[in-house]
Chains A and B, each alone.
Chain A
Amino acid sequence: MTARPDTEVAVAIRVNGTMVEQVVPARTLLVHFVRDTLGLRGTNVGCDTSSCGACTVLYDGRSVKSCTVLAVQAHGHEVTTIEGLAEPGALHPMQQSFQAHHGLQCGYCTPGMVMAAVSLATEHGALDEHDVRLGLEGNLCRCTGYQNIVAAVVAGSRDMEADRAPAAGAAP
């Protein structure tokens, strides 16, 4: 084997559609890379023990807790943060649904909730209340009691499904 282990590692990660190339200490957590190196502060650190889900981002389209992923593990992969869900100034259907249903109070858990919800709806399509309560078990909210969050995700998943349906059948 030619490669040697190194404490500083070059990474190339597509973050929100833009290729980012950096040399990072191997021990850098993805959440710190996103927040501190790239300045994308929408992703929050909550418990820092992969319990609360505040740091949830999409890794190749699937939700992960970025406090428990090394930045070097994202090399060659796509990461989407809350900032990358929609064009600047616009909102993703799931973000719109959180706004419409007031699916938040203090807002600290919200970016992680939205990212987990987008992943869930992408994997499973339109969701019912049971799907959402089970599927959001990795995200904790200390304010709302979850009622409006669940309502927001149910509606948001249906909006995402509706957006997908015509696109799939439409002629180019």
Chain B
Amino acid sequence: MIPAPFAFLRAGTVDEAVAALAEHGDDAKLLAGGHSLLPLMKLRLATPSVLIDVNDVPDRAGARLDGEEVVVGGLTRHCDLVSSTVLRDHLPLLSAAAEAVGDPQVRHRGTLAGSLAHGDPASDLPAAVLALGGTITVRGPGGDRSIAADDFFLSFLETALAPDEMIVELRFPRATGAGWAFEKFNHRAQDWAIVGVAAVGGARPGVALVNMAATPVRAASVEAALQAGAGPEEAAALADAECDPTSDLRASAEFRRHLAKVLVRRALADVATRDRSPTDGATGAR
């Protein structure tokens, strides 16, 4: 299988990439790691006429601290999300979610921005970004704008990213010391999750689900219950409240709903175990 013919352009900067998107219109696509886009192109499910390679754009990979925020470059590859000491210390959930993606070869190529832009509800990283309350900075012809993760995923494979915009970086409130968990249930090694759970503790607990709706979805009822002082069992029972899972070859919708509750319960137990926050108010009583 090879992709349909396309014209190729290497962008040296974000602005070059954005200008090329504006010039070539809807039919142009950005290429980073290519591990979502190239499989679609090989199956001819996607046939862009222009590919704009952004792999050579400098200074858009890696994680750093900026005041109370953690900033992660869009071109950071999954393997580097896993090994980043900044993330291990201040945003370990993102490292854990990255480590759950595919296999080592996939993690050597795939990028954070690529995974978000693809907008697949079965992807691991979008749920982690939701749970962590991330903000996505994108650049278009008119300059930069920020999109809260909660407003980013619109429907199946559809995001708030405009056709002429590129994801530049992500910003997260530091989750230093907060407990975290990433649970992934799948039949086979390297497979997509049948259901996945990203959870983080702290003053504002975050819980989001993989593959439980047309988009990655925040388990708002679980979060509200935790904030109101509910224990893990009680909160986890609400895991499927915001969900609309589908039935497919791997699992029925009913099984997915059951699994979501079980995995959220396990995740919340791990969150409590891993909690290292010095002044953990409301959630510390668990």
Chain B facing A: main interface SS? mixed
Residues of chain B contacted by A62 (CB below 8 angstroms): 79, 108
Docked-complex contact A65 and B106, CB < 8 angstroms: yes
Asked if B88 is at the interface of the complex by the 8 Å CB criterion, the answer is no
Q: Which of A9, A32, A48, A116 contacts B8 (CB 8 A)?
A: A9
Docked-complex contact B2 and A32, CB < 8 angstroms: yes
A26→B38 CA distance, assembly (Å): 12
Interface of chain A residues 64 through 83 with chain B (CB within 8 A):
64-65, 68-70, 72-73, 75-76
Docked-complex contact A64 and B7, CB < 8 angstroms: no
Docked-complex contact B103 and A5, CB < 8 angstroms: no
Query: Of all chain B residues, which has the CB nearest A32?
Result: B2
A64→B24 CA distance, assembly (Å): 30
A75→B2 CA distance, assembly (Å): 19
A-B contact count (CB 8 A): 102
Docked-complex contact A26 and B6, CB < 8 angstroms: yes
The stretch that binds B, out of A50-58, A96-104, A153-161, A164-172, is: A50-58
A138→B56 CA distance, assembly (Å): 26
Given A1-B19, A9-B8, A63-B104 contact (CB < 8 Å): yes
Asked if A7 is at the interface of the complex by the 8 Å CB criterion, the answer is yes
Residues of chain B contacted by A18 (CB below 8 angstroms): none
Docked-complex contact B31 and A5, CB < 8 angstroms: no
Quote the shortest CB–CB distance from A16 to chain B (angstroms): 19
Residues of chain B contacted by A4 (CB below 8 angstroms): 7, 9
Residues of B within 8 A of A (CB): 1-10, 16, 19-20, 24, 31, 34-35, 38-39, 42, 50-53, 55-56, 79, 102-106, 108-109, 189-190
